[in-house]
């Protein structure tokens, strides 16, 4: 059951890709955290091999287990149990995922990752690999090895995340899944809308509509450099939100902030930004900038801040409730 928020209203808050602490750093659970469900990346994109990925994941898992407010959920049954009991205790359910595939991974390795507790995987982060390509090569599609990868995801009960895929790889994957493995859950955990801001990392509305038609959800992020060329204000996020709720089904839009649910000082934020830029955007093609998040929306009360913003743009309270948590909850209830 949802926890009560200020004013006595009940709300279920969920983030389809968030961070508890700074990306790449230690987990931090703020005492004021207001979040019922979150998908976390347990393996940083710079973990290049299966051995590195499994070590990073296991280290991350230990951190979660040492946080009494967090509980990893690996199945629908565990999520149902959590929502029956643990949200009364102000706890947060965690689904673990990866945004990339290790360079030496083969389709047979998917089972190892599933057994380790990972439930969400992308095809590629930014560059091409043996399965397809990330966003840096928009016209590069899914490969034959990529088809085997999708087959392995389906057979192992994984969820496919298309957020970082190139447009063509995402399109090919959707067609392949519909034709061959219609039961494989597909979503875009954190993206902007390409038609609002034409950054190649953002997915097109056509791709997002197809994901929604498959029963998936689309998480909208609050990273400044993916929302607008210059605007760092909440209005840049709201433009993507308005477009998405106009063009997509009511139950398919959610929040995928790709941002930390903690308060971060400017010096610490700048240091983390510089570290990530050196690892993930050394060539400048992602066009990252500081501040990398819409600062007015970050913090342990991020979801309440987003609620205040979108309440001005979505007239139906039922729709707001879905975007802020219930849509993602329903997706994971049927997909885990």
Q: Which domains does the chain have, with CATH numbers?
A: 3-335 (3.20.20.140)
Q: pLDDT band at 311, cuts 50/70/90?
A: confident
- Alpha-carbon distance 82 to 208, whole Å? 30
- Alpha-carbon distance 305 to 261, whole Å? 11
pTM of the model: 0.95
Other C-beta atoms closer than 10 Å to the C-beta of 193 total: 25
Is residue 6 predicted with pLDDT exceeding 50? no
What confidence tens digit (pLDDT) does each residue in 7-62 have?
A: 555 789 999 999 999 988 899 999 999 999 999 999 999 999 999 999 999 999 99
Is residue 88 predicted with pLDDT exceeding 60? no
- Alpha-carbon distance 41 to 19, whole Å? 8
Other C-beta atoms closer than 10 Å to the C-beta of 314 total: 18
SS3 sequence, 80-114? HHHHHHHHHHCCEEEEEEECCCCCCCCHHHHHHHH
Q: Long-range contacts of range 72-76, CB-CB < 8 Å, 24 or more positions apart? A: 72/96, 72/117, 73/332, 73/336, 74/117, 74/119, 74/336, 75/336, 76/332, 76/333, 76/334, 76/336
- Alpha-carbon distance 227 to 259, whole Å? 13
- Alpha-carbon distance 133 to 124, whole Å? 5
Is residue 2 predicted with pLDDT exceeding 50? no
Q: pLDDT band at 86, cuts 50/70/90?
A: low
Confidence (pLDDT) at 87: 55
DSSP E strands: which ranges in the chain?
3-4, 10-11, 14-18, 37-43, 70-72, 92-98, 120-122, 159-161, 186-191, 218-220, 253-255
Confidence (pLDDT) at 4: 47
- Alpha-carbon distance 46 to 32, whole Å? 31
What backbone torsions phi and psi does residue 113 show, to the nearest 5 degrees? Answer: -70, -40
Running DSSP on this structure, what letter comes out for residue 156? T
Is residue 207 predicted with pLDDT exceeding 70? yes
Kindly report whether the peptide bond that precedes residue 280 is cis, defined as omega within 30 degrees of 0. Answer: no
What backbone torsions phi and psi does residue 234 show, to the nearest 5 degrees? Answer: -55, -25
The tokens for 189 are 């955990």
Closest CA to 175 of 127, 215, 214: 214
- Alpha-carbon distance 104 to 112, whole Å? 13
Confidence (pLDDT) at 3: 52
C-beta separation of 255 from 275 below 8 A: no
What confidence tens digit (pLDDT) does each residue in 271-289 have?
A: 998 988 998 889 999 999 9
């Amino acid at each position: 059951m949802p926890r009560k928020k200020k004013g006595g209203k009940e709300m279920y808050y969920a983030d389809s890709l968030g961070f508890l602490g700074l990306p790449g750093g230690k987990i931090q659970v703020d005492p004021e955290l207001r979040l019922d469900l979150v998908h976390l990346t347990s393996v940083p994109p710079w973990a290049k091999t299966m051995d590195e990925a499994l070590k990073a994941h296991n280290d991350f898992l230990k951190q979660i287990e040492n946080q009494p407010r967090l509980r990893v959920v690996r199945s629908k049954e565990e999520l149902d149990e959590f929502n029956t009991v643990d949200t009364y205790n102000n706890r947060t359910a965690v689904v673990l995922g990866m945004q990339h595939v290790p360079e030496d991974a083969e389709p047979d390795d998917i089972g190892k990752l599933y057994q380790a507790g990972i439930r969400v995987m992308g095809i590629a982060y930014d560059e091409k690999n043996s399965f397809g390509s990330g966003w840096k090569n928009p016209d590069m599609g899914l490969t034959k090895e990529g088809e085997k990868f999708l087959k392995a995801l389906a057979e192992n009960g994984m969820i496919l995340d298309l957020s970082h895929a190139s447009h063509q790889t995402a399109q090919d994957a959707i067609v392949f899944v519909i034709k061959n493995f219609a039961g494989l859950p597909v979503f875009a955990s954190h993206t902007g809308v390409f038609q609002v801001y034409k950054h190649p990392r953002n997915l097109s509305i056509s791709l997002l509509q197809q994901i929604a038609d498959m029963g998936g959800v689309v998480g909208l992020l609050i990273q400044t450099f993916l929302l607008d060329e210059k605007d760092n204000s909440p209005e840049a996020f709201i433009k993507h939100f308005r477009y998405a709720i106009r063009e997509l089904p009511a139950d398919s839009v959610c929040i995928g902030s790709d941002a930390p649910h903690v308060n971060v000082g400017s010096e610490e934020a700048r240091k983390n930004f510089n570290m990530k830029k050196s690892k993930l955007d050394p060539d400048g093609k992602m066009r990252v900038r500081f501040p990398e998040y819409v600062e007015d929306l970050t913090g342990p009360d991020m979801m309440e801040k987003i609620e205040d913003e979108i309440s001005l743009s979505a007239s139906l309270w039922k729709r707001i409730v879905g975007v802020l948590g219930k849509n993602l909850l329903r997706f994971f209830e049927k997909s885990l």
